[in-house]
Chains A and B, each alone.
Chain A
Amino acid sequence: MEPKDEEIMKQQREIEKEVCDSTPLVSEKISLSCLRTEYMGDDVFSAKIQDLLKKYKFIRRTRPDGNCFFRAFAYSYLEYLITNYTAYQEFRKLAESSKDKLVELGFPRFTLEDFHETFMEVIKRVDPDCTGAEGSEKLQNELHQIFNEQGYSDYVVVYLRLITSGKLQEEAEFYQNFIEGSFTIEEFRHQEVEPMYKESDHIHIIALCTAIGAGVRVEYLDRGEGSTVKAHDFPEGSEPKVYLIYRPGHYDILYPN
């Protein structure tokens, strides 16, 4: 590679990093109509945003650091769980037992424990049973604060990546079919799933949703044909608890009407 190209790439990375660092890890709820201004003059996107506005009112942005799917999913799913005690308890049980399962699958216990502990701490801090009279608003604030504290927020992302990786290994034969190129499932897990900042694809979403048993609907705002936004439910046929919007390269959280 020419040194000149390298210089340009370096600058590009610096700009990306600046944009990234100036975005909060998870933003406040913002009116979805803000997308209109963002894509003003873009006919394809404008029509699709109009369509999206019929179904959704708010968006919550996540930092575009390659972890956005995992961070958005975790935030949105916990937001659902704090209003649904039965589902919360079930999830907490699943999370508690997930460590032993991952150890059985071959993850090193010593380093895994560090992430699991923090993951459980986050879940316990938003226990709907411990809030008393102030109720869900207090939990909501707690959740928002936790997810904007890098230490907690990133550890939640790491742990979800490990759960995803574990699922891929557990059902390697099935997931192998989704992998493009010459990757084995083992290589894919170590290269594309476990490391931070690696972007998520369908396969990550399917594996995580299946492992956790949570339905996710993704609305695709892209240059595909038509003036409506296409939605996809993961796993197929499930009832969505988490709503995300995908724009090429990035996931944010959506709030249905």
Chain B
Amino acid sequence: MAGSALRRLMAEYKQLTLDPPEGIVAGPISEDNFFEWEALIAGPEGTCFEGGVFPARLVFPPDYPLSPPKMKFICDMFHPNIFADGRVCISILHAPGDDPMGYELSAERWSPVQSVEKILLSVVSMLAEPNDESGANVDAAIMWRERREEFNQIARRLVRKTLGLPT
């Protein structure tokens, strides 16, 4: 069928498997349902999240890629752009007009030529460089800005937790 979300998701999965970007693994949780994926994201090197492996879920709408998926971390996270319940809040996950955080004009938005890979790469950049202007987690945003060492300590504890090490 033409214009099929399923066809596109299968193609993206194949592409991500053949040529995976560094530090990212992603694919459907079960081959029976291509609309729910799990992703594992390695904390970027040289940041307080380095060494961690953070699991997340992606849920795709029936009209994907016309509309973007939703993304949620399923491990404990503490980050200015991640809600307390794990939802990721970055501009590429929103179409223009759908603007809960008042993103800047120049911020990258969802459009049908974006892809899962682009989203995951944006999330990696987000982990490395939080955007404290659009605070999904205000406490984290303030701590990141004003008490960086304390923020880094929490991040390092989360890293150990994702690895199953004592915190």
Q: Which residues of A contact B (CB under 8 A)?
A: 107-108, 110-112, 114-115, 118, 121-122, 149-155, 158, 162, 182-184, 187, 190-192, 194-198
Structural contact, B112 and A196, CB atoms closer than 8 A: yes
Structural contact, B115 and A194, CB atoms closer than 8 A: no
Structural contact, A194 and B113, CB atoms closer than 8 A: yes
Q: How far is the CA of A16 from the CA of B1 in the complex (A)?
A: 29
**Interface of chain B, main secondary structure:** loop
Q: How far is the CA of A108 from the CA of B15 in the complex (A)?
A: 13
Contact A114/B8 with A154-B3, A158-B66, A192-B96 known, Cβ cut-off 8 Å: yes
Q: How far is the CA of A98 from the CA of B95 in the complex (A)?
A: 25
Q: Mark B37-76, 1 if CB is under 8 A from A, else 0.
A: 0000000000000000000000000010111000000000
Q: Mark B61-103, 1 if CB is under 8 A from A, else 0.
A: 0010111000000000000000000000000000111000000
Q: Which residues of B contact A107 (CB under 8 A)?
A: 113
Structural contact, B112 and A158, CB atoms closer than 8 A: yes
Q: How far is the CA of A155 from the CA of B5 in the complex (A)?
A: 11
Q: Mark B1-26, 1 if CB is under 8 A from A, else 0.
A: 11110011001000100000000000
Structural contact, B115 and A108, CB atoms closer than 8 A: yes
Q: Interface size on B (CB < 8 Å)? A: 26
Contact A118/B3 with A110-B115, A192-B96 known, Cβ cut-off 8 Å: yes
Q: Which residues of B contact A158 (CB under 8 A)?
A: 66, 112
Most chain B Cβ neighbours within 10 Å, of A115, A122, A191: A191
Chain A residue, CB-CB nearest to B97: A198
Q: Which residues of B contact A195 (CB under 8 A)?
A: 95-97, 109-112
Q: How far is the CA of A184 from the CA of B104 in the complex (A)?
A: 13
21 CB-based A-B contacts, threshold 8 Å: A108-B113, A110-B15, A111-B65, A111-B113, A111-B114, A114-B7, A114-B8, A151-B2, A152-B2, A154-B66, A187-B106, A190-B111, A191-B96, A194-B112, A195-B95, A195-B109, A195-B111, A195-B112, A196-B66, A196-B95, A198-B96
Question: Is B108 part of the contact surface with A, judged by Cβ < 8 Å?
Answer: yes
Structural contact, B2 and A191, CB atoms closer than 8 A: no
Q: How far is the CA of A15 from the CA of B112 in the complex (A)?
A: 26
Chain B residue, CB-CB nearest to A66: B97
Chain A residue, CB-CB nearest to B96: A191
**Total A-B residue pairs with C-beta atoms closer than 8 Å?**
73
- A151's contact among B4, B113, B115, by CB below 8 Å, is which? B4
Question: Is B105 part of the contact surface with A, judged by Cβ < 8 Å?
Answer: yes
Q: Which residues of A contact B108 (CB under 8 A)?
A: 190
Q: Which residues of B contact A187 (CB under 8 A)?
A: 105-106
Q: Which residues of B contact A149 (CB under 8 A)?
A: 2
Q: Which residues of B contact A122 (CB under 8 A)?
A: 2
Structural contact, B66 and A191, CB atoms closer than 8 A: no
Q: How far is the CA of A190 from the CA of B8 in the complex (A)?
A: 21
Most chain A Cβ neighbours within 10 Å, of B3, B97, B105: B3
Chain B residue, CB-CB nearest to A150: B3
Structural contact, B109 and A154, CB atoms closer than 8 A: no
- A191's contact among B7, B63, B109, B115, by CB below 8 Å, is which? B109
Q: How far is the CA of A165 from the CA of B109 in the complex (A)?
A: 15
Q: How far is the CA of A188 from the CA of B48 in the complex (A)?
A: 35
Structural contact, B2 and A194, CB atoms closer than 8 A: no
Q: Which residues of A contact B65 (CB under 8 A)?
A: 111, 114
Structural contact, B112 and A118, CB atoms closer than 8 A: no
- 10 closest residue pairs by CB, A with B: A151-B3, A194-B111, A155-B3, A191-B96, A111-B113, A118-B2, A195-B111, A196-B66, A158-B112, A195-B95
B121 → chain A closest CB, angstroms: 12
Structural contact, A112 and B2, CB atoms closer than 8 A: no
Q: Which residues of A contact B109 (CB under 8 A)?
A: 190-191, 195
Q: How far is the CA of A152 from the CA of B118 in the complex (A)?
A: 25
Contact A152/B3 with A191-B96, A191-B105 known, Cβ cut-off 8 Å: yes
Q: Which residues of B contact A121 (CB under 8 A)?
A: 2
Q: Which residues of A contact B66 (CB under 8 A)?
A: 154, 158, 196
